[in-house]
A and B are shown apart, each in its own frame.
Chain A
Amino acid sequence: MSAHDQCPSSVKKGKPGKAALAAEARRLSRVSGGASAAPAWRSLEEVADTPEFRDLVEREFPAGASELLEPATRRTFLQIMGASIALAGAATIPGCRRPDHKIMPYAAQVPEQVIPGKRLYYATSMSLPGGGAEGLLVETHEGRPTKVEGNPLHPTNRGKSGVWAQASVLSLYDPDRLKYPSFLLKGETARRPATWDDFKAWSKEHFEHYDRAQGQGLALLVDKKSSPSRDAMRDRLLKRFPRAMWVPYDAADSETPAAGSAIAFGAPVREQLSLVEAGRIKAKVIVSLDRDFLDQADPANLIHQREWAATRRVLTTQDEMSRLYVVESGMSNTGACADHRLRLAPSRIEAFAVMLARAVAHKTQGASWGPLQNLLAGMQAPAGADIPPQWAEAVAEDLVLAKHYQDGKPAGTGTYRAGETLLVAGPTLSPAIHALVHAMNAALGNIGKTVSYLPMSPELAAPSARGLAQLAQAMDSGAVTTLVCLNTNPVYDAPADLGFAQKLAKVTSICLSTPATETAAASGWSLNGACELEAWGDTMSWDGAIAPIQPMIAPIYDPARSDLELLAIIADPNAAILGGDAAATAPAGSPAAVAQPAAAQGATQAPRTTPRVDDGYTIVRQAWRAMMGGGTGEAGFEKAWKRALHDGLSPIPPQQPEARQVNLDAVADAISRLQFGAPPSAAALEAVFAPGMVYDGRFANNGWLQELPQPGTRVVWDNPALVSPATARALGVLPDNWSDTRTSQMYTRKFPSGQRATITVGGRTLEMAVWILPGMADHTVILPLGYGRQIAGRVGDGVGFNTYLLRDSQTGLTARGVTAARADGEYPVSSTQAHWTLEGRTTISRAVDLLAWQKHGDPAKNPTEPPADPLYGHKADLPINFAEKVGGGELSHTPPNVSIYPHPFTGTRTGIPAGAAMPFSKGPQWGMSIDLSTCTGCGACTIACQAENNIPIVGKKEVAKNREMHWIRVDRYFTGDDLNEPAAILHQPVPCMQCENAPCETVCPVNATVHGPEGLNYQAYNRCIGTRYCENNCPYKVRRFNFFDYGVKKFNGDYVGKEALESVLPDRGGITGSGRHNKLNPNLIPPRLREKLSEIEKMQKNPDVTVRSRGVMEKCTYCIQRLNEARIEMKLHDLNVMPDGFVQTACQQACPTDAIVFGDRLDAASNGGTGSRVRQMQESQRTYQLLGYLNTRPRTTYMVRVANPNPALRRPEEDPFGHHGVHGHEGGGHDDQGHSAIDRSTFIREQARGALDKGYALSLRVLGAIS
């Protein structure tokens, strides 16, 4: 680290060596032990701080990022250009004529409520993996959905939304979707195209064969979801075919939660967590046993995130705060949020759970444990070095007693907690442990207070793996002769031992799917499904709220049918389901409407009153009519239905969750049969199959999700097996050139890579890459599911490894006795973890303990600095708030403004003319506050920004070169000095800081980036000539450069003259995302030859934002299109002051925990405004500026993360002040008021001298700052 951006007082004694610095850092972190004082590092190599790593971070882009071509550059370039010229021809030379743009108005009628040029929102919902659902608002532009947002009225969302919902709009425009039905004749290999009418004619005859046997031999494999309409259609289908097999299936699903609750309560339940109520914290201690309850794969994660954040958002020193213990095998976002985190293999978590239960049982007075009390007392869970002995005791103590601590020692015996704690168990644990956790919740009085239950539908509770195994057996034996797959993909994701693909060939198969899948390609009939933005349907969310799904757009590949409509075709062969049928719209009484199903024997079994099935609209409407009961008349129902469609929510109140009695005998019985087995070792690892960013693979062709950095690893476009550093060493799968002193080499090479290894699970082997992830449990390997798709589309094909090949139908999400052996070679992996690294990282992401906040956070002790300072000069004499003191008072080192450019809005350097307005004194002045206490690192902000701002994906190879385009990234930091066991993990979203003194502005030679009167740092794309000076000068690394036409041309797509190019450029085995479609990096193809985005893909783009072409720098501008629109709307409605919340940025709108707050900094109640939240946040003592000492005056500020450690496990740090980090500091000179003031000229001279930076010294001399 060059010294000139660090505290000058610390470099007085000259520059210590690197080894000394590193040693000092470790010493400091050991002494304090606090989360804040430990050096923060984002990746392994940063700890070592090797020359390679220094080189990486000091470069503007990492090696390779700014190079046009790969090795053999010149020759390749000439080849491509030669082909380009040969192909281009005279015809492509653009004429000088003005292009003839056509305007196409609506034909006959403009649809109701459409105002061309204005967006229109419709409420809908979306079912999510795991049985959950979200209520959504979809932004449409002239009937074309472009952005998905949370529905504020839906109790799950309350205006927020998750990653998968945000990304769903891209799947709608997936160019590789199934476009028409097709069928495969026996003995042929090529599919033949067909129409839906063909299918209907075929299916009518085909399913009539099953009538006699009442459906015997017919099976349906359906995706798991909660949808009243689909339940109704299922019942209707089973009425015709009572003996058909109905198999709900979800490949990444675990059956243990349902089984565990069946033991404890007698029936499977859906847990409803309740952490806060009316601003009061209900769950003061939360213990998660491998349950990633904040992660997107949890069906209720939005509720959990919102409520958990509410227990963590301390704004005053009196605020209470919850404490979160996480015991986990992987390194999840939930684990990163924990106050105490214990990494254990899944089987060891079970042992820990028993130890914890025993300790709790021992301490609970008067609580009824029944037979468990004695059983637990007599149980001996195998102890081991991996479970610190004090853990179970300390956690149990905390669960039972609320203690007051003073000076690190408990004062008094504490008071009993009653019903203010919560334990949750995760999908990797066995049913017995789930039952035990329910029993513990009961004993601690939590049931009915912090956790209550809703019944789980048989559909959700159905064991996926067992159901599929039974189905496969029946297909094999001939008991099933026709299989209908509804939105499932068993050919890809069935456990390997079932041999599903072979068995599928034995039966007549029908597959309905929206994206292209392996199953669709192998099925007899492949039907193109309508996605949830194109069809009618409904959902029930995890908390029981029922919401309609309404189509936002007619199916893009029309006709396409939803699962409801296909079920209707099967259930009633005469259904007027197809567009050509008159009955769909036939008025009552017309011949078409009264025609009765004649031949269908099954249909006559149905009561006469069963209405005819029609299109999805009728199906849903009828189901809702039945659901709402006969109480309201047709007119009343119509009104309620319209209201429900408008609100996106059913008027039926959700079922209230209730407390349930735990059957202690059954739990004791299950526990007594618990087998612990031998703890895992390097020879017998434990494997955890975890759903990846693409869940079970269903989102594989969604480029936004593929390019969203995955939790923990920040890996994109891949799913390497994850192991801890110690385990990697034990297994010998460290990368070739790994050494303790030179850990950097692994990632700083041009293309980072992981060692290949052969993973063996139960006799099946797979060679895959291994990625080393600090903080994971030892002797555990995580195998993410959902990658290695063969037929998914141009984005998802061949991305990563298919870990389903390692699963068998007996193991759930965990497997034991797994081995990993080093294989030859390395595999390139793209990870963003070391990208966009900031200098001076020690104070970038700050964290303190609650005790320190309570002791020092009082505003009276820390007068906040005045918000505006006319000259932006030296600030040593200004008061510094708590958070800045935590950063070592670095603001006191702020240099004077030494820019030679006068600032247009502050008059800096020239000074404010007498009588002129103060800088930025006229509103609105935008600002953003990001609370690190509540950020879970979920990435919803990144995807929301991507959708709103037309941000392209770039592919794996480009990410490896650091060219990802995300405007808001989420940095992940580890802290502590043990690579294997980080002290804490922090997430920090970084958008553009919108500096008032923006370093990027002063270096732009063409004034493409300039300042605006509202404090925004504008980027004028048409001025930008692509010098990238601004990127170089940005201390936050938030600018993104379009090296290629990422947004304008097809991703990984075909290109004109493919053959000609491939003749000069043979297959070089590219590493970009999609191996099949990407023999050479398509970004290297000259733009003219690359195919442009198809019209379908263009439809996703937000028309309010430019689509940037290559050679242009871009960055976050606080969603300026929304700001401008809001300002106009405000004036149109004659509002003088923009109310707080009138405009939201996309990231803020999506953020499930409300960690991102945006608004007008001047909007204070004292100024006559409504009082903005961002002002309240920025005035908080927890707010600090990122690299504030650079005097950039960022508009985006951060709030220090507050941790709430248990003093029995770690002594909280009371005084987190002073310098910490990698440069040593001679004590003294720091008091409670931060850094002592130093003389300005001394400071500058020291900067020049200490840095030994001649250029900097020269510039100061030029500016007259020093003589």
Chain B
Amino acid sequence: MSVIFGKWMNTLPTVAAAVGLGGFVTVVGGFWYWATPKFWQVGYMPHQPALTEMQLAGIDAAKPLNPGMGLPGTQFPGFSHQIHAGKLGMDCRYCHTKVELSPEANIPNVATCYGCHAETHVDEAIVGASKVQFVRTAYEHDESINWRRVHKLPDYVRNFPHNIHVKAGVSCFSCHGQITAMPVVYQHEPLSMGWCLDCHRDIPVNPGKHLVPPDKVTQLVAVEQHFSKVQAGQPGDFPGFDARRLYESLRMNPPDNCGACHY
């Protein structure tokens, strides 16, 4: 009688189980790691702004500032937060107005851009006319300049109330990263529910790790340095600031229930 099922086959169940388990673990682990906002969302970096044909028309393609960052097919460098917020040191709220009042941190209207980039205001040697021609074009035609949304919350989350977070001393840095160093803004944090909750649940325990003086929330470099020191267990950069006292004086109660965001 020929041996159909050889002795080696006795190991088959074990091997199969091991391979199956290994495969399962790999799939689950892979899913666990890669199928997350942390993997998919962080680093999203669309070129800015999204110009219309007419706005693009006057742009000179001569000297790109940040090669590779430009609009595909053109040498248009795009808007740089690094220059505006970093080098020039403009406060976030110069453009993102009403962030203390409104749930939205607003995108500036064209007049805000034009306030500086009108022909007469800027030294052509510093900013080439061609680079900001789209601002003037948009202003003249009373057109909106479109921007691409970088920080998008998951569906079914109504909004992120910027106003109350700013009031509570949550720095822009905590969610948006070091914007002042970004030529093109990218998503720095996963903005997932777990990430939100991590902070909301930790603030009552360690307010110092998350809060800064409310008047310093837009000073991103100072905030970053402060937090790096706090993380290292050293006293922070804001002398006299007691996060716990701020937490209590504002009667903070960071919600961690569904109804805070989902409705």
A75 interfacial by beta-carbon distance below 8 Å = no
- The answer to whether B262 and A1021 touch across the interface, beta carbons within 8 angstroms, is yes
- The answer to whether B262 and A1020 touch across the interface, beta carbons within 8 angstroms, is yes
Residues from chain A with a CB closer than 8 A to the CB of B156 are: 1020-1022, 1106
State the Cβ distance, B144 to closest chain A Cβ, in Å: 5
Measured in the bound complex, the distance between the Cα atoms of B98 and A822 in whole Å is 68
Chain A positions 76-103 with a Cβ under 8 Å from a chain B Cβ = 98, 100-103
Total number of residue pairs linking A and B with CB closer than 8 Å? 125
- The answer to whether A109 and B259 touch across the interface, beta carbons within 8 angstroms, is no
One of B123-131, B147-155, B233-241 contacting the partner? B147-155
Given A109-B111, A115-B102, A116-B104, A102-B147 contact (CB < 8 Å): yes
B29 interfacial by beta-carbon distance below 8 Å = no
Cβ-defined partner of A1132 (8 Å) among B111, B159, B163, B263: B163
A1165 interfacial by beta-carbon distance below 8 Å = no
- The answer to whether B147 and A1131 touch across the interface, beta carbons within 8 angstroms, is no
Residues from chain A with a CB closer than 8 A to the CB of B114 are: 108
Residues from chain A with a CB closer than 8 A to the CB of B107 are: 103, 105
B62 interfacial by beta-carbon distance below 8 Å = no
One of A536-544, A554-562, A1008-1016, A1065-1073 contacting the partner? A1008-1016
Residues from chain B with a CB closer than 8 A to the CB of A1106 are: 156, 158, 262-263
Cβ-defined partner of A116 (8 Å) among B102, B111, B155: B102
B225 interfacial by beta-carbon distance below 8 Å = no
- The answer to whether B102 and A106 touch across the interface, beta carbons within 8 angstroms, is no
Residues from chain B with a CB closer than 8 A to the CB of A1064 are: none
- The answer to whether A1124 and B46 touch across the interface, beta carbons within 8 angstroms, is no
Chain B: which residue is nearest A105 at the CB level? Answer: B107
Chain A positions 113-147 with a Cβ under 8 Å from a chain B Cβ = 115-118
- The answer to whether B155 and A105 touch across the interface, beta carbons within 8 angstroms, is no
- The answer to whether B163 and A1104 touch across the interface, beta carbons within 8 angstroms, is no
- The answer to whether B102 and A1131 touch across the interface, beta carbons within 8 angstroms, is no
Residues from chain A with a CB closer than 8 A to the CB of B142 are: 107-108
User: Contact string, A1097-1133, partner B, CB cutoff 8 A, digits 1/0?
Assistant: 0000000111000000000010011001000100110
B83 interfacial by beta-carbon distance below 8 Å = no
One of B11-19, B169-177, B205-213, B250-258 contacting the partner? B250-258
Residues from chain B with a CB closer than 8 A to the CB of A118 are: 98, 101-103
Residues from chain A with a CB closer than 8 A to the CB of B111 are: 107-109
State the Cβ distance, A736 to closest chain B Cβ, in Å: 47
- The answer to whether A1105 and B164 touch across the interface, beta carbons within 8 angstroms, is no
- The answer to whether B259 and A1120 touch across the interface, beta carbons within 8 angstroms, is yes
- The answer to whether B106 and A116 touch across the interface, beta carbons within 8 angstroms, is yes
Measured in the bound complex, the distance between the Cα atoms of B149 and A105 in whole Å is 12
Residues from chain A with a CB closer than 8 A to the CB of B104 are: 116-117
Residues from chain A with a CB closer than 8 A to the CB of B158 are: 1104-1106, 1121
B82 interfacial by beta-carbon distance below 8 Å = no
Given A100-B148, A1104-B158, A1128-B163 contact (CB < 8 Å): yes
A1136 interfacial by beta-carbon distance below 8 Å = yes
Given A105-B107, A1018-B258, A117-B148 contact (CB < 8 Å): no
Residues from chain B with a CB closer than 8 A to the CB of A1022 are: 154-156, 262
Residues from chain A with a CB closer than 8 A to the CB of B44 are: 98
Residues from chain A with a CB closer than 8 A to the CB of B159 are: 117, 1104
A110 interfacial by beta-carbon distance below 8 Å = yes
B85 interfacial by beta-carbon distance below 8 Å = no
A104 interfacial by beta-carbon distance below 8 Å = yes
Residues from chain B with a CB closer than 8 A to the CB of A108 are: 109-111, 114, 139, 142
B91 interfacial by beta-carbon distance below 8 Å = no
Residues from chain A with a CB closer than 8 A to the CB of B147 are: 102-103, 105
State the Cβ distance, B226 to closest chain A Cβ, in Å: 24
Residues from chain A with a CB closer than 8 A to the CB of B56 are: none
Chain A: which residue is nearest B46 at the CB level? Answer: A100
- The answer to whether B258 and A1131 touch across the interface, beta carbons within 8 angstroms, is no
Residues from chain A with a CB closer than 8 A to the CB of B161 are: 1124, 1128
Measured in the bound complex, the distance between the Cα atoms of B112 and A110 in whole Å is 10
Cβ-defined partner of B138 (8 Å) among A107, A1012, A1021, A1128: A107
Most chain A beta carbons < 10 A, residue from B155, B259, B262: B259
User: Contact string, A204-236, partner B, CB cutoff 8 A, digits 1/0?
Assistant: 000000000000000000000000000000000
B84 interfacial by beta-carbon distance below 8 Å = no
Cβ-defined partner of B148 (8 Å) among A101, A116, A1012, A1120: A101
- The answer to whether A1105 and B263 touch across the interface, beta carbons within 8 angstroms, is yes
- The answer to whether B106 and A105 touch across the interface, beta carbons within 8 angstroms, is yes
Residues from chain B with a CB closer than 8 A to the CB of A106 are: 109-110, 144
Size of interface on A: residues with Cβ below 8 Å to B:
38
- The answer to whether A117 and B167 touch across the interface, beta carbons within 8 angstroms, is no
Residues from chain A with a CB closer than 8 A to the CB of B41 are: 98
B217 interfacial by beta-carbon distance below 8 Å = no
Interface of A is mostly: loop
Measured in the bound complex, the distance between the Cα atoms of B50 and A105 in whole Å is 12
B22 interfacial by beta-carbon distance below 8 Å = no
Measured in the bound complex, the distance between the Cα atoms of B46 and A1106 in whole Å is 26
State the Cβ distance, B128 to closest chain A Cβ, in Å: 23
Chain B: which residue is nearest A114 at the CB level? Answer: B98
State the Cβ distance, B208 to closest chain A Cβ, in Å: 20
Most chain B beta carbons < 10 A, residue from A100, A104, A1014, A1121: A104
Residues from chain B with a CB closer than 8 A to the CB of A1117 are: 259, 263
- The answer to whether B260 and A105 touch across the interface, beta carbons within 8 angstroms, is no
- The answer to whether A1124 and B251 touch across the interface, beta carbons within 8 angstroms, is no
B20 interfacial by beta-carbon distance below 8 Å = no
- The answer to whether A116 and B263 touch across the interface, beta carbons within 8 angstroms, is no
- The answer to whether B149 and A102 touch across the interface, beta carbons within 8 angstroms, is yes
- The answer to whether A1013 and B106 touch across the interface, beta carbons within 8 angstroms, is no
Residues from chain A with a CB closer than 8 A to the CB of B154 are: 1022
Measured in the bound complex, the distance between the Cα atoms of B155 and A1132 in whole Å is 26
Residues from chain A with a CB closer than 8 A to the CB of B255 are: 1013
Measured in the bound complex, the distance between the Cα atoms of B154 and A100 in whole Å is 14
Measured in the bound complex, the distance between the Cα atoms of B102 and A115 in whole Å is 7
Chain A: which residue is nearest B251 at the CB level? Answer: A1136
Measured in the bound complex, the distance between the Cα atoms of B158 and A1105 in whole Å is 7
Measured in the bound complex, the distance between the Cα atoms of B158 and A1104 in whole Å is 6
B89 interfacial by beta-carbon distance below 8 Å = no
Chain A: which residue is nearest B140 at the CB level? Answer: A108
Cβ-defined partner of B98 (8 Å) among A103, A115, A1014: A115
User: Contact string, A1012-1038, partner B, CB cutoff 8 A, digits 1/0?
Assistant: 111010111111000000000000000
Chain B: which residue is nearest A104 at the CB level? Answer: B144
State the Cβ distance, B258 to closest chain A Cβ, in Å: 4
Cβ-defined partner of A105 (8 Å) among B109, B167, B263: B109
Measured in the bound complex, the distance between the Cα atoms of B100 and A98 in whole Å is 30
- The answer to whether A103 and B259 touch across the interface, beta carbons within 8 angstroms, is no
B146 interfacial by beta-carbon distance below 8 Å = yes
State the Cβ distance, B123 to closest chain A Cβ, in Å: 24
Chain B positions 10-45 with a Cβ under 8 Å from a chain A Cβ = 41, 44
- The answer to whether B257 and A1013 touch across the interface, beta carbons within 8 angstroms, is yes
Residues from chain B with a CB closer than 8 A to the CB of A1132 are: 100-101, 163-164, 167
Measured in the bound complex, the distance between the Cα atoms of B21 and A1223 in whole Å is 61
- The answer to whether B144 and A1010 touch across the interface, beta carbons within 8 angstroms, is no
Cβ-defined partner of B263 (8 Å) among A1010, A1013, A1023, A1124: A1124
- The answer to whether A1010 and B146 touch across the interface, beta carbons within 8 angstroms, is no
25 residue pairs of the A-B complex, CB under 8 angstroms, read A98-B152, A100-B46, A102-B149, A103-B146, A103-B149, A109-B109, A117-B98, A117-B102, A117-B159, A118-B102, A1010-B257, A1018-B258, A1018-B259, A1020-B258, A1104-B159, A1105-B158, A1106-B158, A1106-B262, A1117-B259, A1120-B263, A1128-B161, A1128-B163, A1131-B164, A1132-B100, A1132-B164
Interface residues of B (CB under 8 A from A): 41, 44, 46, 50, 98, 100-104, 106-111, 114, 138-139, 142-149, 152, 154-156, 158-159, 161, 163-164, 167, 250-251, 255, 257-260, 262-263
Since A107-B139, A109-B109 are in contact, a sample of 8 more A-B pairs with Cβ atoms closer than 8 Å, ordered by chain A residue number, is: A101-B148, A105-B147, A107-B138, A109-B111, A115-B102, A1013-B257, A1128-B103, A1132-B101
9 smallest A-B Cβ distances: which pairs? A117-B104, A101-B149, A117-B102, A1022-B156, A106-B109, A1018-B259, A105-B107, A1020-B258, A1018-B258
